[in-house]
Amino acid sequence: MEMKKFELNDRVYLRKKHPCGSHEWKIIRVGMDIRIECLGCRRRVMLPRQKFERMVKKIMRDEEGD
């Protein structure tokens, strides 16, 4: 199975909504675990990579280089 390539500051859309109502998250740490930040309420969550890969619906690359 091919591992998806995630980079810092990528925006991702997850399949399920966060309780604040947002689907959009920003990747702030990449490794065996992925740390993401909700762009609606700024809540941070760390997930195992396998679980995170199943949850991702769409990846939006950060072209600005924030």
Q: Confidence class of residue 64 from pLDDT cuts 50, 70 and 90?
A: low
Scored b (16 or more CB within 10 A) or e, 41-56 reads: eeeeeeeeeeebeebb
Q: Hey, is 7 helix, strand or coil?
A: coil
The rounded percent of the chain whose pLDDT value lies above 70 is 86
Mean pLDDT across the chain: 88
What pTM, to 2 d.p., does this model score? 0.81
Of 12, 13, 42, 46, which Cα lies nearest the Cα of 30? 46
